[in-house]
Structure 1
Amino acid sequence: MTNPGGTPVERLKDATAIDPADFNARVGEEAGFVHEHVGAGTFDNDQATTGLEYEFYAVDLETDGIRRIPRSLLGSVGFEAELGLHNAELNTAVHPLSGAGIDALGAEVTAKVEAAQRLAANEGIRLVSDGVWTIGPAEGTTVAYLTEATCEEGLTLGINVSNAARYHGFGSFDDHRMIGGTIDVPGASIDADNAGPVSLTTSIQPHYQCRRAADLPTYHGIALRVAGPLLALGVNSPLLPPALYDDPEPDRELLLERGYAEHRIPVYEQMMNPVDGPPKVSFPGDIATPGEAIDRIVDDSVLVPAEIAAAERFDDAFVHFRHKHGSYWRWVRPVFEGATERAANVRIEFRPISGQPTIPDTVAFLAAVCGLLTQLAESAHPAVDLPWSTAKENFYAAARDGLDAELTWITADGDRTTDADRLYADLLSAAAAGLERHGCADAHVTDLLAPLRGRVDRQRTPASWKRDAVAAALDTGASPAEAIERAQRAYIGQQAATLSDGSLLEWPAPRGVESI
């Protein structure tokens, strides 16, 4: 039995002593229980619901450099540890998919974040909602902070990785790398034998709970088709810490044009995909049945096996299946859970979007995801027939170029288009119609989606705002490293003033950031 209370080394030794084949056989047995209950309707529900996972990182109030979060702060206001010691994750309650439900979710996030910020300020830190952090720690180097590890009994433990066996289990064992451990993007690279560099990234993950488990393939397919266009609206990681660039003076073109608009996508894929096996972080294929979604989790490669004592929850009957699901990192991920049989549910976890500048921006993406999954499914929208290969091309083009990417869409009239104005007019109209199906009033829908409509109208994303800030700093004579730092300080400063009730659209154009 894996010892949940031991040291990381003890827990990892327990895990390495478990035969992966035996563990996966147990996962397969438990998957049979899930298959049975999906077929019996146990995972069906009376209404659609929604929820949110929201990741943050902490910075020093004085320097804006990355800072560890005191463990005592986590859990006090609904936050949990994430991979990095500077990370925290907020998981909301489940809310009805309705206007009031979305408002309640937004209010819950706001209340908990504001409470966390007050406690964090007492520790001299601030929580930041973003895609990738770029200002390193006050002491030591950024590269050391991300990669430093200790090796004990053949096990690699990242120094700044949270004290959980599943996180440390992604590191090397007896010189064998469990994950890729390398980031190689235009003009920048890093290599590590542990998962530390993944803690550069933070995200939001809206959840959409299906009413009928049998409809999972439809919602999964729709989520894949809207992933590219929504990602293009949300790109928020065009810059990396200066120390990661191959040239200590990266050129203007690299910072403003050649780099990814959303580095979070290649960073996560390259770091976490195994060297010698099929990818675990990927744009997944369509599924034909709920059973296929279950079987994909069983067939996924094993990273950190475990022996877990089942408790009293309904889903503890498939606790090893759920444990394995924790390292099933597809950009759109089906989830099977439920504390009780009555609460059993299947949902879509939508993972492409970075942390956003403000909470209203975040809620806008959640509303758009929920509205789109509803409307495209219930109206037989032609976009559901967009070829999977085109949806995949859209996704990676959006990661590279944001709103400048050429994306392909099929409108409600059945027209295939690459015109961005037509694409987003149709996409956001569909999102609005889907929310109205759930009882949201017209004016409320307009307010919910306004942050996204405004990004289209003004051709502004968080990534473009940051690049404009870098350009403004370079134009004043700042070095590339100074420009990245000034852009990050400007972002943090604007967010501090608008996080709870503003949006990116209200931020002034980043002129004069040399004074921030």
Structure 2
Amino acid sequence: MGRDLPQRDFTDEDRERFRARLRASLGLLDGLLTSPGFGAGEPTLGAELEMFLVTRDGVPVPRNEEIRRAAADPRLVLEVNRYNLEANLTPVPLRPRPFTALHDEADTLLEAVRRAGAAHGAEPYCAGLLPTLRPADLTRRNMSPRGRYAVIDDALGRAGRGLRVSGEQRLRMRSDTFCAQGAASSWQIHLTVRPEEFTRVHNAAQLMTAPVLAVAANSPLLLGRRAWDESRIPWYEQAFGQHRRRVAPADRRSGFGHGWLRGGVRELAEEAVRRYAPLVPLCSGGDWDRPLRPGGPPALDELRLHLGTLWWWNRPVYDPAGDGHLRIELRALPSGPTPADMVANTALLTGLILDRAAREPGGELPFALARENFYTAARDGMAARLWWPAGPAAPVRLAARDLVRALLPRAAAGLAAAGVADDEVQRWLGVVEARVLTGRSGAHWQRRTHRALGSDDRATVRRYLELSSTGAPVHSWPAPQARVRGRPRGLGGAVVRGRRRWGGRVADGAEGAGGTVARRALPAVRGRRCAGCFSLDARGTGSVMNLPKRTPLQATAEARPVRRAGLALAAASLLVVGGTACESDGATPAGDAAPAASASTEPGDQAASPSDTASPTSGARSPDAEEDGTATSGEGDGPGKSSPDRTEKLVDGSEARITEVGEQHYVAKIVSKGAVVATLETDGHDTGLDANGVYIVLSNGGVISSHK
């Protein structure tokens, strides 16, 4: 769908001829999939970066055509509305440093847009949603001057459709155009896949999207309302007008899917042709079934165009370039906050997909639960509780943060097996590790800042633009000061003056990337440093500092415990080995056993689906709950509270009883043989303990980790 359309009106004869070519294309595709050399090239990775054009105060600037022309860069293309723009990054080989290449190119393109937009008072804003948009901005008068969007809008129908998302606040809107999806911006990853591996890779993508989406969430402010952490997901799906209850999920042109793949890309192509009517029945001229060049693959323009009008979150792509290849377009991740964040999300998702596909022939989780995971992750973000396969046992339900921390070594293994350089893996997965340990995703930062600034949309966008322009990842961003019960508390970025942290003195007023203290996050103890911590370099990129030497990674298809230099995640409460999930004692609350595989997953039956739009479940406590006023019973109880909020086992068999006292204020009592042997307390900064050969870290987000 990247090309413009020379024809706006279509006859019944056009539609019938288009359908005939689609059916014929399936036969040609069958021959391609078994032809020598097809899809056999070196694996590559590409991306599309969608962005908004805004003033410094967040007002949308409808000048995408003028800015694209001024930038004079063919990688920049128009998106749905006049304040949307898209950058198509150059595909890069998957080895040895693809993520750094994508990061640098995204940075360069954003700077090009910034320079070109200066004459119009515009700059790029990378986030899943633009909080300052209002319903009047989502009408056809703001549609980009590209004929294809008008054709698609007419084909989808102009009947009124209701859009609604409920979270902390509720939003309902009526629309008669798919221009409503111009409120959403994504970071879309393209991963080339060999035909014989397509089924395994696609199923791995379906399974792994949910945990990555949970920690990558960056879309909590929908038209100024605080809703889902990834409100972009239900909004985008509903904008196509396909989510009325009378339309079954399997018949909707956008969504997560309805079952594990069994028959490769041919199964998806056949389903697309059989189930969905063509929206744009434009037939190519000439010998449509002939190769583009002698000995090359056929263009299959009609099939490619048809697949481009199905907006599945993980979508197949056929590309006739060169000798031809297949790709999976991973479309679920949000734009922003910075290139560092987006590339780190890419490294995590790519590594998990490659590792899972190499180890598993198919999905071990009932698809109903995988689909529920996707919408639960979109709704609750890092506070989500996700179902996960546990080998021969029933699936278990885990906190998203714990799950991702446990999966990081698997992502490292997948990237290493693909030939990604070791320092590249450490650098970018280190950003994810830092985000998970601090609990600060883009959604978390936006929600807290919006609340601290009195729900001022423009002030929130202005602060977001200031910090994102530094390039520092979002976990390092400070948030405005807020006053809680008369006592000022930092919201994730106060500079601590003259205090000692982890054996290193913080200089008065010293600030690191993004305005935060460049922390010495690792305690220097007996010449060693504890695992699972991070530092920031000059650009705010996370990396692991001087970790204990580990056994070199053996990246094999068999599942083995993987310990990687620079990614020893002793903080994980879950160990994922060979596709099994082994929880520590007490990690799964009563009632979290998996439901029957036949449990309904229709949008009307599940709180996690976009059509139901229920508020977050009581079992998934938001990181912002204290500020939300939704969980205040423990506030002010202090360390002497009668019972802890939770208990976790440590590596030496002792347990940590953790109590939340206030904002970034936790107390952990270490209990061994019934006696309290130590107490850790955070109050705006991490704290740690070295005793009897055990290293224990309590983060200011209440996450405890230990290792010997």
> Which of 124, 134, 137 matches 1:127?
124
How does 1:150-189 map onto structure 2 within 5 Å? 158-172=140-154, 177=157, 181-186=161-166, 187-189=170-172
SS in 2 for 1:45: coil
The equivalent residue for 2:325 is 345
Aligned 1:356-367 pairs, distance under 5 A: 356-367=336-347
**Whole-angstrom CA distance in 1 between matches of 2:464 and 2:373:** 27
- The correspondence of residues 132-151 of structure 1 with structure 2, limited to 5 A, is 132-136=129-133, 142-147=134-139
The structure having more radius of gyration, on CA atoms, is 2
- Which deviates more from structure 2 when the two are superposed, residues 112-121 or residues 456-465? 112-121
CA offset at residue 19 of structure 1?
A: 4.5
Which residue of structure 1 aligns with residue 8 of structure 2?
12
1:336-358 Cα distance to aligned partner (Å, 9 max, x none): 11223x2x111111111110211
Q: Residue 237 of structure 1 corresponds to which residue in structure 2?
A: 219
After TM superposition, give the deviation of residue 219 of structure 1 in Å. 0.5
Say which of 435, 442, 445 aligns to 1:465.
445
Query: In structure 1, what is the equivalent of residue 601 of structure 2?
Result: none
CA distance in 1, matches of 2:480, 2:416: 36
Determine whether 1:436 maps to 2:410. no
Alpha-carbon distance, 1:333 to partner: 0.7
SS of residue in 1 equivalent to 2:23: helix
* Structure 2: segments with no counterpart, 5+ residues: 483-489, 491-708
> Paired residue for 1:287?
261
Deviation digits for residues 411-464 of structure 1, max 9, x if unmatched?
699894433354113321111111111233433312111221122111111111
Would the aligned equivalents of 1:315 and 1:337 in 2 still touch at CA under 8 Å? no
Which stretch of the first structure deviates more once superposed, 160-169 or 122-131? 160-169
- Give 1:22's aligned amino acid: R
Aligned match of 1:407: 386
TM-score, structure 2 length as denominator? 0.61
- The equivalent of 1:477 in structure 2 is none
Contact 1:236–1:355 at 8 Å: present in 2 too? Answer: yes
Moved more, 70-79 or 361-370: 70-79
Following TM superposition, by how much is the alpha carbon of 1:17 offset from its aligned partner in structure 2, in angstroms? Answer: 5.7
Of the structure 1 ranges 348-357 and 63-72, higher mean CA displacement relative to structure 2 is found in 63-72
- The one-letter code sitting in structure 2 at the alignment partner of 1:239 is L
Structure 1 stretch 104-113 or stretch 123-132: which is displaced more?
104-113
Do the aligned partners of 2:52 and 2:185 also contact (CA within 8 Å) in 1? yes
Matched, 1:207 2:190: yes
- Counterpart for residue 498 of structure 2: none
For CA contacts below 8 A with separation 6 or more, give which structure has more relative contact order: 1
The one-letter code of the counterpart of 2:252 is P
Which residue pairs with 1:328 in the alignment?
Answer: 310
Stretch moving more, 274-283 or 321-330: 274-283
Deviation track 1:3-30 (CA, whole Å, cap 9, x = no partner) reads 9686xxxx322x3565434322211212
Q: Cα offset for 1:144?
A: 2.2
Matches within 5 A, 1:378-457: 378-380=358-360, 384-410=363-389, 416-420=395-399, 421-457=401-437
How has the CA–CA distance of structure 1 residues 510 and 22 changed in structure 2, closer, same or farther, with 3 Å as cutoff? Answer: farther
Aligned-residue sequence identity (percent) comes to: 28
1:97 maps to 94
| Distance in 2 between residues matched to 1:365 and 1:273, nearest whole Å | 30
CA drift at 1:47: 2.5
TM-score of the aligned structures, taking structure 1 as reference length: 0.83
Aligned to 1:88: 85
Counterpart among 45, 48, 58 of residue 40 in structure 2: 45
C-alpha distance in structure 2 between counterparts of 1:191 and 1:451, whole Å: 39
Q: Which has the higher helix share?
A: 1
Q: Does 1:32 align with 2:27?
A: yes
Output the CA distance in 2 between the equivalents of 1:241 and 1:507. 23
What is aligned with 1:490? 463
Rate the CA distance shift 1:408–1:144 in 2: closer, same or farther, 3 A: same
Kindly provide the CA deviation profile for residues 297-327 of structure 1, in whole angstroms up to 9, marking residues without a partner as x.
2122322221233684756631011111111
Q: Output one character per residue of 1:218-251: Cα deviation in whole Å (capped at 9) or x when no partner.
A: 1000000011111111111111224xx6xxxxxx
Partner of 2:104: 107
Q: CA deviation at 1:103?
A: 2.1
Deviation, 1:111, is: 1.9
Q: Aligned with 2:299: secondary structure?
A: helix
| Equivalent position amino acid for 1:67 in 2 | V
Alpha-carbon distance in 1 for matches of 2:5, 2:316: 30
Q: CA deviation at 1:70?
A: 4.1
Alpha-carbon shift at residue 168 of structure 1 (Å): 1.3
8 Å CA contact 2:211, 2:386 repeated in 1: yes
- 1:179 to 1:26, Cα distance in 2 relative to 1, 3 A: farther
* C-alpha displacement of 1:484: 3.0
- Structure with greater proportional strand content: 2
Q: What count of residue pairs does the alignment treat as equivalent? A: 460
RMSD: 2.6
Deviation larger for 121-130 or 309-318 = 309-318
Shift of 1:366: 1.4
Contact 2:316 2:327 in 1 (8 A): yes
Cα distance change on mapping 1:53 and 1:471 into 2, 3 Å: same
Structure 1, unaligned stretches of length 5 or more? 137-141, 148-157, 246-254, 475-479
